[in-house]
Structure 1
Amino acid sequence: MRADRLVSLVLLLRRRGRLTADTLARELEVSTRTVLRDIEALSAAGVPVYAERGRHGGFELLPGFRTELTGLNHDETLALLTAHSRRGRQTFGLGSALTSALRKVVDALPESHQATASEAARRFLVEPATDLLSRRPATEEVPGTTMAEIRRSVLAGHRLRIHYAATGQAPRWRTVDPIGLVTVRDRSYLLATRSGADRTYRLSRVLAAAELPEPAQRPDAVDLDRIWRERCAQFLSEDHITVLVRVNAERREDLLNTVVAVRTALPDADGRLRMEVTYQDLRHAEWGLWQLGTDAEALAPASLRAALHRRAAAMAARYRTTVPGPDGNEPP
């Protein structure tokens, strides 16, 4: 445990520079006294860490200090191997890089550790190709060359030209200033601005892309989590329909597969879930809830209840009578 913590302490100082004992204690989830003892142990082992006094002081490594810290513990190795799943290989076109990195990590482990970690990883399966109902998840493929252009543009801070097929529109070229990439629920998005306005592009709709030489107009620092939350809030404020629905708990995931977003989800008195969800429009909501049959009930709006009632009545009328046989008579 302490060896792992000492490695983490050195990595923190290498990556972030000067840090106070309090900051190190928070990052490592130990006491300040423990951090001071660890600093002494590192110094005794020859690691050139020194203290800077004063208001802006802290602990720092000597400039240029490098060391090979390849020792991963079992759980760290297992986490990396588990991340190398079918879903992980698809993220942002980094599958081959992830495979190469994992190969290097495993090769650096002791032979006994290689065997136990690889065997343990085989006991975990993340997001298989089908679920228990034999349904294959909808995957969104982006050509490797297109994804590489987008990724390079984002990382280099260059403007990007994309051939984009927006819903209901003919594909056309757009020049954007890329901010970052986000993946959520098996869908990936490019966050960007175009002519100063916020834009969010679904990567599966990018037909081609080309990195441009000129720098992107974007801030140096970025908080993708905050930007994504803001864009989600903006999206939900647009012309969508909000539905209050009561659904059996075991069908929750099926409901989530049909909605645009979830606003609230609370347990109901009868054990079902009462959820406030968003659909694109009334027709989308009718289609989505019809998939769940009697396992879900739309409580509001009234227009949606009426639409579902009309559909159910039409279906009941269709199946009210017995289908005649080939001779025109009802089957026995």
Structure 2
Amino acid sequence: MRADRLVSLVLLLRQHGRLSATTLARELEVSTRTVLRDIEALSAAGVPVYAERGRHGGFALLPGFRTELTGLNHDEALALLVAGSRRGAQAFGLGSALASAMRKVVDALPESCRATAAGAAQRLLIDPETDLLSRRQVAEEVPDTVVTEVRCAVFAGHKLRIHYAAVDQTPKWRTVDPIGLVTVRGQGYLLATRSGEDRTYRLSRILAAEELAEPAQRPDRVDLSRAWQERSTRFRTGGDQVTVLVRMDPARREDLVGTALAVLAEEADADGWLRLEVTFQDSRHAEWALWHLGAHAEALAPQWLCTSLRNRAAAIAARYGVSP
């Protein structure tokens, strides 16, 4: 236990620079006195850790001191950092790098741990390709040549030229300033700016990409999680949103709420069903959501949605020779 804690202490100092004894104690979940004893032990073992006095003092390692897993190249190390989601590594074109890195990690394990770790790994399955209903989660395929150019431009901070096929538009070349990459349920996105305006591009719609030598116009630091949240909010609140009034079986409420953008009002009818006013991204979104609820829901307004659902049901009934 103490050996693991000493390694963690060194890694904390490597990753964060100078840290106070109080901060180290909080991160390691031990007392300040234990941290001080650990610092003494590291120093006695030859680890170049030193104390800085003063109000903003703390403990730090001498510049240049490194503890690294030898043999990992840049892409393999990057793959390990996104290995929390195997699909994420694949979406960013790092699937083969992840496999290679994991082989090196296994090889670096002590022989006594290697067999037990491999055996334990066989008993864990994370993010399978199908769920219990055999619904396959299909990750989008993006050519390696494309995702590599995009990824390199993002990391190098260079402008990127992409041949992009927007929905219902002829593919066009455009030059963007890349900000970062995001993967959501197997779908990859490029966050960028174009002429100073925020843009989000789906990786699977980038037909070709070319990293340029010109530096990208972007801030040095970015909170990618916040940027994605802001763009998601703008996407949900923009476009051709529609508001729908619907009656439904309360047992299926979560199915509707889970796909709607927002619930504006809700009340119970005398028969026990719920009456909700909800918003959807557009007309197709609304029709899709209500259709999948079948007889468990009834659209009350707008009239075009009621008509569309009725026509679709009539067409299905006619197909199977049943009178509407």
What per-residue deviation string (whole Å, max 9, x for no partner) do you get for residues 48-85 of structure 1? 21110012211111222234579xxxxxxxxx7x9487
The farther-off stretch of 225-234 and 168-177 is 225-234
CA gap 1:119/1:250 in 2 versus in 1, 3 angstroms: farther
2-side partners of 1:120 and 1:139: how far apart? Answer: 27
Match of 1:42 in 2: 42
Shift of 1:33: 3.3
CA gap 1:304/1:46 in 2 versus in 1, 3 angstroms: farther
2-side partners of 1:187 and 1:277: how far apart? Answer: 26
1:28-107 equivalent positions in 2, closer than 5 A: 28-67=28-67, 83=83, 87-107=87-107
What per-residue deviation string (whole Å, max 9, x for no partner) do you get for residues 113-136 of structure 1? 111111211122223233333332
Given that 2:13 and 2:60 are in contact with CA atoms closer than 8 Å, whether structure 1 keeps it comes out as: yes
- Secondary structure at 2:288 match in 1: helix
The farther-off stretch of 106-115 and 159-168 is 106-115
Match of 1:285 in 2: 286
The farther-off stretch of 112-121 and 307-316 is 307-316
- Please say if 1:26 is aligned against 2:23: no
Given that 1:282 and 1:304 are in contact with CA atoms closer than 8 Å, whether structure 2 keeps it comes out as: no
Match of 1:11 in 2: 11
Match of 2:122 in 1: 122
CA gap 1:38/1:184 in 2 versus in 1, 3 angstroms: same
The farther-off stretch of 85-94 and 149-158 is 85-94
The farther-off stretch of 247-256 and 187-196 is 247-256
Structure 2 residues without counterparts, runs of 5 or longer: 71-79
- Please say if 1:241 is aligned against 2:237: no
CA gap 1:168/1:53 in 2 versus in 1, 3 angstroms: same
CA RMSD of aligned residues (A): 3.7
**Aligned residues with identical type, % of pairs:** 67
What per-residue deviation string (whole Å, max 9, x for no partner) do you get for residues 183-227 of structure 1? 112211100000101101111111100000010001111110111
Match of 1:326 in 2: none
Given that 1:177 and 1:192 are in contact with CA atoms closer than 8 Å, whether structure 2 keeps it comes out as: yes
1-side partners of 2:100 and 2:275: how far apart? Answer: 46
2-side partners of 1:201 and 1:314: how far apart? Answer: 38
What per-residue deviation string (whole Å, max 9, x for no partner) do you get for residues 220-262 of structure 1? 1111011111111111120223557767778967985xx4x65
Given that 2:139 and 2:185 are in contact with CA atoms closer than 8 Å, whether structure 1 keeps it comes out as: no
- Secondary structure at 2:134 match in 1: coil
CA gap 1:242/1:178 in 2 versus in 1, 3 angstroms: farther
Shift of 1:285: 1.4
Shift of 1:307: 4.0
1-side partners of 2:23 and 2:275: how far apart? Answer: 42
Match of 2:295 in 1: 294
Shift of 1:24: 2.1
2-side partners of 1:130 and 1:154: how far apart? Answer: 32
- Secondary structure at 1:90 match in 2: helix
2-side partners of 1:3 and 1:273: how far apart? Answer: 59
The farther-off stretch of 84-93 and 46-55 is 84-93
Match of 1:173 in 2: 173
1-side partners of 2:86 and 2:243: how far apart? Answer: 34
Match of 1:184 in 2: 184
Number of equivalences: 308
1-side partners of 2:284 and 2:63: how far apart? Answer: 63
Given that 2:236 and 2:281 are in contact with CA atoms closer than 8 Å, whether structure 1 keeps it comes out as: no
TM-score, length of structure 1 as denominator length: 0.78
The farther-off stretch of 109-118 and 147-156 is 109-118
Shift of 1:173: 0.4
1-side partners of 2:176 and 2:233: how far apart? Answer: 22
CA gap 1:132/1:83 in 2 versus in 1, 3 angstroms: same
Letter of the 1:23 counterpart: T
Shift of 1:264: 6.6
Match of 2:74 in 1: none
1-side partners of 2:87 and 2:274: how far apart? Answer: 29
Match of 2:162 in 1: 162
Letter of the 1:241 counterpart: V
TM-score, length of structure 2 as denominator length: 0.80
2-side partners of 1:120 and 1:273: how far apart? Answer: 47
Letter of the 2:288 counterpart: W
1:140-219 equivalent positions in 2, closer than 5 A: 140-219=140-219
- Secondary structure at 1:46 match in 2: coil
